[in-house]
Amino acid sequence: MDISIVVPLFNEEESLPELCRWIERVVNDNGYTYEILLVDDGSTDKSWETVENLHAANPNIKGIKFRRNYGKSAALNQGFQAAKGKVVITMDADLQDSPDEIPELYKMITRDGFDLVSGWKKRRYDSKLTKNIPSKLYNATTRRLSGVKLHDMNCGLKAYRSEVVKSIEVYGEMHRYIPVIAKWAGFRKIGEKVVEHRKRKFGITKFGWERFINGFLDLVTIMFVSKFGKKPMHLFGSLGTLLFLIGFVIAGYLAWARIFFAAYKMTERPIFYFGLLAMILGTVLFMTGFLAELISRSAPDRNHYLIEKELS
Ligand code: UDP
Ligand code: MG
């Protein structure tokens, strides 16, 4: 199978028939073998009935329905696991992404050898204040922190080599950082393509301004996990030791001055409290690192590696 098109959807009943007709037209014109995976993320409208009808009319359209709303990441992850195509393309259900981009994205993976190609909504049709401006800031921060040079990290329209989606796990709200996750899994050839973006035709957006706060916290998590997830003691242990030593030196100096010069009581020096605090915090950090190390020791994926090539 050439292409799996994974579409996460939550209450998008009006858009689905038009979206599927459009995708069908594009893939048939290009002669691709394909499947459309509609992942219903616990919709409360008639989305699932629509999916059933679409499936009845065209068996290449498949559906998965969650019992409740788990979020876009969960829907994508489920779609990734089920996908059978050599190339996997994800697309929002709301007709904001254009299926006309599919052939070019497909070629960038198969012909140009990209592992992952992300869409770039260079001209964007969303509200300026709540989406476009914060999104620019957010993308710039992510570029700097992660080193993945994409203009539009969170674009719903993306294409992947099948191996990529089978190797990564998207959980929580990490769908915003799939290119970062892919890069850390060792997939280096990440590209982008300017894509057409359209106004939402039906329904409403499912994400509000909180996305930027949560998005930032997720970025911190992902940076931490990728860097220290398997060796937490290296971070907590060194910070803790450093703090403890600073505190110890301060306390030692105060004690020395007290014993030999007897000029003042230790508790009369404000720096005494700083030294005390530094020693306590240092110990706590060290113990945190120790606990984290015990946890990561028993993580089931502690020795899970992705093998690229092998000669035997
Ligand atoms: N979506 C989902 N589960 C959710 C929220 C959103 O599957 O909990 C889907 C939604 O139906 C759409 C896509 O994710 O297909 C992008 O959502 P939306 O269009 O609301 O985001 P925006 O375009 O405003 O960033
Ligand atoms: Mg949208």
Q: Which of 169, 199, 228 is the last residue of a domain?
A: 228
Beta carbon of 79 within 6 Å of any ligand 1 atom: no
Please check whether residues 270 and 218 belong to one and the same domain: no
**What does the angle CA 133 – CA 76 – CA 14 come to, to the nearest 5 degrees?**
75
282/154 same-domain check: no
Give residue for tokens 């939550």.
10
Q: What is the pLDDT of residue 212?
A: 82
Do 32 and 179 lie in one domain? The reply is: yes
Residue 243: alpha-carbon gap to chain centroid: 33
Centre of ligand 1 to C-alpha 151, Å, is 20
Structure tokens at 40: 């219903």
Q: Is the CB of 92 under 6 A from ligand 1?
A: yes
Nearest ligand 1 atom, CA 93? 15
- pLDDT above 90 (res 226): no
Closest CA to 119 of 133, 104, 130: 104
Residues with CB under 5 A from ligand 2 (ion): 92, 94, 96
| Residue ranges of E strands in the chain | 3-9, 34-40, 61-65, 87-90, 116-120, 158-161, 190-194
pLDDT for residue 266: 78
Give 134-193 pLDDT, tens digit per residue.
888 889 999 999 999 999 999 999 999 999 999 999 998 899 999 999 999 999 999 999
My answer on whether 137 and 244 are in the same domain is no
End residue of a domain, out of 206, 228, 250? 228
Q: Is residue 305 part of a domain?
A: no
Domain, as residue range, for 97? 3-228
> Which of these, 109, 122, 76, 110, lies nearest to 190 by C-alpha position?
109
CA atoms within 13 A on the CB side of 29: 11
Which carries the bigger pLDDT value, residue 269 or residue 3? 3
Residue owning tokens 């329904």:
203
The 10s digit of each residue's pLDDT in 189-223 is 999 999 999 999 999 988 887 888 888 899 999 99
CA of 92 to the centre of ligand 2 (A): 6
Question: How is 69-114 classified by DSSP, letter by letter?
Answer: ---HHHHHHHHHHH--SSEEEE--TTS-B-GGGHHHHHHHHHTT--
Cβ of 192 closer than 6 Å to ligand 1, yes or no, is no
Select from 98, 89, 77, 75 the least CA-distant residue to 18. Answer: 98
Ligand in closest contact with the CA of 40: 1
pLDDT of residue 221: 92
Residue 309, domain member (yes or no): no
> Is the confidence at residue 35, as pLDDT, over 80?
yes
Distance between CA atoms of 31 and 185, rounded to whole angstroms?
A: 32
Residue 152 lies in a domain: yes
Tell whether 165 and 212 lie within a shared domain: yes
Query: What pLDDT sits at residue 111?
Result: 97
Q: Per the domain annotation, does 302 fall within a domain?
A: no
pLDDT class of 233 with cuts at 50, 70, 90 = very high
- The tally of domains found in the chain comes to 2
**Per-residue pLDDT at 31:** 97
The alpha carbon of 96 and the centre of ligand 2 are apart by a number of angstroms equal to 6
Cα-based distances in Å from 296 to 225, 229, 307: 11, 7, 21
Q: What is the pLDDT of residue 33?
A: 98
Same domain, 150 and 246: no
Quick one: CA dihedral 149, 153, 157, 159, positive or negative? positive
Whether 38 and 77 map to the same domain: the answer is: yes
- 196 and 284 belong to one structural domain: no
In short, whether 9's Cβ falls inside 6 Å of ligand 1 is yes
Which residues, 6 or more positions from 263, have their beta carbon under 8 angstroms from its beta carbon? 257
pLDDT of res. 207: 86
For residues 207 and 254, state if they share a domain: no
Q: Are residues 192 and 282 in the same domain?
A: no
- 76 within a domain of the structure (yes/no): yes
Residue 256 lies in a domain: yes
> Rounded to an integer, what distance in angstroms lies between the CA atom of residue 223 and that of residue 265?
45
Residue with tokens 């009935």: 49
Cβ atoms within 10 Å, residue 23: 22
Q: Report which bound ligand comes closest to the CA of 205.
A: 1
Q: Are 178 and 158 in contact (CB under 8 A)?
A: yes
Domain shared by 216 and 282, yes or no: no
Final residue of a domain: which of 195, 228, 261? 228
What CATH number corresponds to the domain at position 134?
A: 3.90.550.10
Domain co-membership, 67 together with 191: yes
